[in-house]
Structures are given as C-alpha cells and as structure tokens.
C-alpha cells in the first residue's frame, strides 16, 4: 500500500486561540506579523511543490500557522527555526500532535547562524546538475531581515555551501510586496535594482501570488509577495560573489544616470579615463544606458570584464570609492 502523502492533524486549538491563551503579541522590533487564514498558508506550502517525505526548514514559524500546513503534507523531517522563545509552547504542541508522522525539530535561534549541514545531515545529496535534492526552505520572513537574508543565501548558493551543499535546494519565501517585485523585476522595470540582478544571476525566480496586508495580524502597511527561488544549474556568472556584488552595487548607486557614471567609480580616479571605456568595450555593452536598462546577461559580461581588468591591474580589485570618499572627507 502506498504511503499517504498527507495526514490530518488531531483537533487542536486554533492559532488565534493559542495567541490569546499564551498572551502572544507581535513584536514590532522583530517585524512580526501573524497569518491566520489556513487557506493562505496552504497556498504558500502548495507553491513549494512536492514536500511529502522531503526535508523542510521553516524560517520564523511564529505561533505555527504555516507549520500546520507543512505538517499536513507529511514531510519526512521538519526543522523550524524561531528566534522568539515565546512561541515554544505552541510549536511543541504541533510537534507532539504530529510525532507519529513527522520528525519535527524545534530550534530556538537566529536563522542567519543556523547550520543547515547539521540540521539536514541525514538528507540525501544531489548532483548540482541533476534533480534538486528533497530539501525546501519555506518561511514568512520578517521584513527587517528579508533582504539581508536572501543576499546571504545567494552567496551560499554561489559557493554551493550551507543548504546548497546538498544540491539546488529550493526556497519559497514571503517578502514585502515591493521587495518581491524587485526580486523578479525584468530589464527596464521601475523596480529593477541590484537585488533583481543578483537573484536572477543565480536563481530562477517567480512571484507566485500576493497576500493582502489585511490577512496578517497586526495588519502591516503593505501587502506581501510569495516568491519561489530555484537555483540555476548554470548560474549566469561564475565569479566570486563579493566581486559581483561590488560591481552591481557601484552601478546601481547611480541608478538614474548613464551607467558609465557609476562604472567609473569602480576605478581610482587617475585610471578612469582608460579603464571605464575599456570595461564596456570588453563586455560589449552600451554605456549610454541607465543601470536598470542593462540585461542580467550583460551584467554577467560586465562582471567578467571587471575581473579581467583586475587581473591586469591588481590594485583595482581593492579600490573602494566610498572608503576613499570618507578618507578625503576626514
């Protein structure tokens, strides 16, 4: 007989009732907002694809709304990483209720320092160029850490470390709607920025749907976007992450100006006349456009051209326009 791909949790108090029972309130300093609608949490988990008998890490479960939807899909193991220990009783209730079907582990700590290699040590690994591993990251991210966290994870993807030491682990995450739009923004889009290009260099990104702010308690001032990120077999750029980040940050610091204005700042002032034009020539990119009008593929060529210039002029790689500016100001 085939194993069931889902199971029904035993009767439990609602999340709303548990919040009242344990007198849990959302903390503004942790950017907490609770989702109460089970139809929406089920939809988030559905966006992650097949998770039955897979390994799942939920980021910031809070009182356990999305956790319940994940457990209903009967993953092999569910690790929940929650910074706020006040939610431990509600999460332990779910662990006890699902213990016969799911190996649920509760970790109280910061997801930014969580060791995925230890948490998923029994998960099977996949070849990077084969099928993705049976591992998923799912989470309703606090607005205050979402951008910082995704940049950290993109770096781990580029180095095939952390959760990506097992293969092309997928992510299904919530972001402030504006951030979600930035992640998927195509060339020329008003929201296109450094984050757009970085996400699209290493991942296939999709804005699955938008959750209205009124679905959360307390209601945030903005709506929320659910985004999936699937690491690419072949990233558009195969260079050190910090180098790519530096190039993109420099270009988008002057987002509304012609891109050669920003590109010049990659080089010491006395070398700009020579190396600025050389960068665009090597990359075969038109310098008389604005940063948001450059395609992701063109940025990959620009980064590679920058690497070639750094090899010819080693002092360029360590040059930091902002640091130089601060020194002059002092």
Ordered domains of the chain (ranges, CATH): 15-231 (3.40.50.150), 241-329 (1.10.8.100)
pLDDT at 330 over 70: no
Percent of the chain with pLDDT over 70: 93
- pLDDT at res. 3: 52
Closest CA to 58 of 31, 83, 86, 79: 79
- Cis peptide bond prior to 194, omega within 30° of 0: no
- pLDDT at res. 156: 98
- pLDDT at res. 32: 60
Burial 293-322 (b: 16+ CB within 10 A, else e): ebebebbbbbbbbbbebbeeeeebbebebe
pLDDT category at 26 given cuts 50, 70, 90 is low
Mean pLDDT, range 98-107, rounded to an integer: 94
Supply 62's token pair.
Answer: 């809070």
Q: What whole-number distance in Å separates Cα of residue 183 and Cα of residue 219?
A: 23
- pLDDT at res. 1: 35
Sign of CA dihedral 115, 117, 122, 125: positive
Closest CA to 80 of 100, 105, 102, 101: 105
pLDDT at 30 over 80: no
- pLDDT at res. 313: 97
pLDDT at 123 over 80: yes
pLDDT at 248 over 90: yes
Helix (H, G, I), strand (E, B) or coil at 93: helix
Mean pLDDT, range 293-319, rounded to an integer: 97
Paired sense of beta strands 77-82 and 103-108, if any: parallel
Sheet holding 203-211, edge to edge: 103-108, 77-82, 55-59, 135-140, 170-176, 224-231, 203-211
- pLDDT at res. 34: 79
Mean pLDDT, range 280-306, rounded to an integer: 97
pLDDT at 327 over 60: no
């Amino acid at each position: 007989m085939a194993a069931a791909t889902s199971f029904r949790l035993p009767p439990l108090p609602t999340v709303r009732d548990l919040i009242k029972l344990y007198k849990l309130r959302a903390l503004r300093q942790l950017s907490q907002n609770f989702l109460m609608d089970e139809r929406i949490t089920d939809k988030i988990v559905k966006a992650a694809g097949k998770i039955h008998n897979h390994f799942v890490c939920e980021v910031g479960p809070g009182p356990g709304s999305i956790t319940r939807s994940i457990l209903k899909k009967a993953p092999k193991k569910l690790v929940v990483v929650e910074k706020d220990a006040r939610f431990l009783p509600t999460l332990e209730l779910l662990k006890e209720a699902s213990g016969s079907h799911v190996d649920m582990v509760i970790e109280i700590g910061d997801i930014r320092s969580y060791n995925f290699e230890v948490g998923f040590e029994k998960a099977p690994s996949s070849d990077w160029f084969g099928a993705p591993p049976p591992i998923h990251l799912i989470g309703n991210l606090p607005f205050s850490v979402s951008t910082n966290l995704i940049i950290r994870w993109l770096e781990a993807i580029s180095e095939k470390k952390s959760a990506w030491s097992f293969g092309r682990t997928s992510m299904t995450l919530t972001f402030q709607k504006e951030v979600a739009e930035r992640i998927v923004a195509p060339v020329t889009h008003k929201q296109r920025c450094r984050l757009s290009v970085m996400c699209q260099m290493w991942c296939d990104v999709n804005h699955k749907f938008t959750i209205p702010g009124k679905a959360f308690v307390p209601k945030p001032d903005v709506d929320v976007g659910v985004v999936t990120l699937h690491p690419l077999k072949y990233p558009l750029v195969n260079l050190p992450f910090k180098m790519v980040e530096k190039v993109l940050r420099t270009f988008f610091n002057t987002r509304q100006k012609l891109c050669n204005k920003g590109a010049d700042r990659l080089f010491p002032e006395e070398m700009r006349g020579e190396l600025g034009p050389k960068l665009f020539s090597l990359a075969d990119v038109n310098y008389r456009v604005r940063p948001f009008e450059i395609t992701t593929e063109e940025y990959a060529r620009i980064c590679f051209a920058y690497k070639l210039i750094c090899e010819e002029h080693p002092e360029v790689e360590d040059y930091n326009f902002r640091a130089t500016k601060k020194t002059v100001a002092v």
